Amino acid sequence: MNDLADELDPQYRSWLLSQAVPQVWAATFSLHLDKGEGTAIATADAAAGVVKRLKDEPVLPPEDVVAKSGFVFSFDDFRGWYRVTHRLQQPSGSIYRDPSDTEIEQAFESYQQSRSDFY
């Protein structure tokens, strides 16, 4: 997918999508009002429901994001990339702890396994 949702802090992503729900509902309602009020309400409810489900979806870990992209990393390249990406995904102001070598190795194994899932 490699979209903005993969890069946003989960709390910020949730907040953004929460703000979008009434706007999506209103826009969908107005676009379908010519088909009758009942149809417009049902369609708007369905569209807002999709946004709510997106808001509640878990955010993929960085190793799954890169696996979905199809990008191929050696372990050495993955290690450097993972440390940076891991840090960027932490909420600002939080106490940061670098991932251990074991955590990076496990993430690399997960990345390699996930690559075949998204092939």
Q: Summarize pLDDT for 92-105 with one digit per residue, the tens.
A: 677 888 899 999 99
Average pLDDT, the chain: 84
Q: How confident is the model at residue 25 (pLDDT cuts 50, 70, 90)?
A: very high
* Cβ atoms within 10 Å of 111's Cβ, excluding its own: 23
Q: Of the candidates 115, 118, 16, 72, which has an alpha carbon nearest to the alpha carbon of residue 7?
A: 16
Q: Of the candidates 93, 95, 96, 74, which has an alpha carbon nearest to the alpha carbon of residue 85?
A: 96
Q: Summarize pLDDT for 59-79 with one digit per residue, the tens.
A: 778 888 888 888 888 999 999
Q: Summarize pLDDT for 6-24 with one digit per residue, the tens.
A: 556 777 878 888 899 999 9
Q: Which contiguous run of DSSP H or E holds residue 32?
A: helix 10-32
Extract the tokens encoding 106.
């496990």
